[in-house]
A and B are shown apart, each in its own frame.
Chain A
Amino acid sequence: MCLAIPVQVKEVLPDNMAKVTLDGVSKVISTALVDDVKPGDYVVLHVGYALAKIDPEETERTLALIREAALGDAA
């Protein structure tokens, strides 16, 4: 029920809507809950609405932390 998925914004449409792709399938969603959505952005999509933007820098940082954690004491 609370599952949401990261999708990429392909096109920004009028009225706070956007076209996104999901495994190659395109879908129109509402971006009324997030500001400044641009093509290329990734957003968390839930029941037809973008809930948050995904921060690409924080994504890299999380992955780096996970890799470090896997190595043990270096973390």
Chain B
Amino acid sequence: MKYIDEYRDGRLAKDIALQITAAANPAHSYHFMEFCGGHTHAISRYGLEDLLPSNVRMIHGPGCPVCVLPIGRIDAAIALAMRPEITLCTYGDLMRVPGSNGSSLLKAKAAGGDIRMVYSTLDALRIAEAEPDREVVFFAIGFETTTPPTALALRFAIDKGLRNFSIFCNHVLTPAAIQNILESPDVRKLGTVKIDGFIGPAHVSTVIGTEPYEFFAEEFQKPVVVAGFEPLDVIQAILMLVRQVNDGRHEVENQYIRAVTAFGNEKAQAEVANFFELRESFEWRGLGEVPYGALRLRPQYAIYDAEKRFGMVTPAAKDNPACECGAILRGVKKPADCKLFGTVCTPDTPMGSCMVSSEGACAAHWTYGRFREHAKAREAGRAVA
């Protein structure tokens, strides 16, 4: 496919990896966090880690909105969906996210909840229009990429005079989370990993642009390279980061210049600003309370806010204590460090959210990483023998 295949040329990727090896100072180690699940997925799927020299390590960050949704929000959505008048519309990724006591939206649907998977907010609007007797609630989740489509759905609902449509808003913000990884109190508890730079989000940045990372690069003196999701994009970004570290620079660079500009999609930002405002604090699964890390509907749109309209409560809910998602989302541990990985917890029976979405670190490692590790261990065994 055009604009995809060109960025998957394995030979070029290997050549760039050789340049990374040549550029990386053998006396140093380089730790880069890719924030986005899309990058995590690409790194696992194309085996990019195997191409990198051993002193350049990738740390998988928290950048999958499904993975960071706290369990209490899933429980609240399930409780809402079980009300007879409600039709809950949701993106497919959310269906299997584990709530409390092994519950999920999928199970709630089987138990009679009217829960419908949609591809787009436009589908949810269509359902609301076609079934005026139902209360249609859209379970809105996602980073800055998915927020503008939610905002537009609200605009359309208002324009069409739809009275039976509302939003359960769980939109979260990327820059706040990156900041939290570097300076929250949990960092002290879980310990920190060394991070020398970040690969910045691809599609989030089409909306917000590269400018929001400037403050961050300056404040924390960490380089940020915004990169596309194809393997050549990622590997080029790693080379750019190595060069910045070598030069002692901490700048925001844009590798994904074909779709991302400095100021992003201002039309989309204006739609979002019209309907949403910051929440002072919002819990992220694995990261705890993140100040100003999420959005809610502005008070003047309260009637479209499912939380207010239906008096929703978010119960306090605890994750499975053995689940290491919190440490994994911060890059402190790897999926294989979790006792439940691959035994109790698999993509078919996820215990933690990192195993649910294919962009989660545990699921990516399950699907692509573990075979590679076996193969590597076998190779090593052979070399020794």
| A residues neighboring B (CB under 8 Å) | 1-6, 8, 23, 30, 32-35, 42, 44, 46-49, 51-56, 58-59, 61-63, 65-67, 69-72, 75
B93 within 8 A of A: yes
1/0 contact string of B250-265 vs chain A (CB within 8 Å):
0000011111100001
Counting chain A CB atoms within 10 Å of each CB, the highest count among B122, B229, B258 belongs to B258
B20 closest partner in A (C-beta): A69
List B residues 5-38 near A (Cβ within 8 Å).
6-7, 12, 15-16, 18-19, 22, 36-38
B236:A65 contact, CB within 8 angstroms: yes
Q: Whole-angstrom distance between the alpha carbons of A53 and B368 in the complex? A: 31
Q: Answer whether A46 and B152 are a contact pair too, CB < 8 Å, given A1-B146, A34-B267, A67-B12.
A: no
Chain A interface mostly: mixed
Q: Answer whether A2 and B142 are a contact pair too, CB < 8 Å, given A33-B152, A46-B203.
A: yes
Chain B residues near A62 (CB, 8 Å)? 233, 255-258
B314 within 8 A of A: no
B357 within 8 A of A: yes
A71:B15 contact, CB within 8 angstroms: yes
- Residue from B6, B16, B91, B232 in contact with A1 in the complex, judged by beta carbons closer than 8 Å: B91
Shortest distance between the CB of A9 and any CB in chain B (Å):
13
B236:A33 contact, CB within 8 angstroms: no
Shortest distance between the CB of B20 and any CB in chain A (Å):
9
B42 closest partner in A (C-beta): A3
Counting chain A CB atoms within 10 Å of each CB, the highest count among B91, B202, B206, B233 belongs to B206
Q: Whole-angstrom distance between the alpha carbons of A6 and B229 in the complex? A: 11
Chain A residues near B141 (CB, 8 Å)? 1
1/0 contact string of B93-125 vs chain A (CB within 8 Å):
100000000000000000000000001111100
B15:A49 contact, CB within 8 angstroms: no
Q: Answer whether A47 and B152 are a contact pair too, CB < 8 Å, given A65-B236, A69-B16.
A: no
The list of the 6 closest CB pairs from A to B, nearest first, reads: A48-B120, A70-B15, A52-B206, A6-B3, A58-B258, A59-B258
B204 within 8 A of A: yes
Shortest distance between the CB of B24 and any CB in chain A (Å):
14
A17 closest partner in B (C-beta): B122
Chain A residues near B342 (CB, 8 Å)? none
Chain B residues near A56 (CB, 8 Å)? 258
B65 closest partner in A (C-beta): A1
Chain B residues near A58 (CB, 8 Å)? 257-258
Give me 5 A-to-B residue pairs in the complex whose CB atoms sit less than 8 angstroms apart, sorted by A's number. Answer: A1-B91, A1-B146, A46-B203, A48-B119, A70-B12
B120:A49 contact, CB within 8 angstroms: yes
Q: Answer whether A3 and B148 are a contact pair too, CB < 8 Å, given A54-B259, A62-B257, A66-B232.
A: no
Q: Whole-angstrom distance between the alpha carbons of A46 and B36 in the complex? A: 15
Chain B residues near A6 (CB, 8 Å)? 1-4
Chain B residues near A46 (CB, 8 Å)? 145-146, 149, 203
A52:B259 contact, CB within 8 angstroms: yes
Chain A residues near B41 (CB, 8 Å)? 3
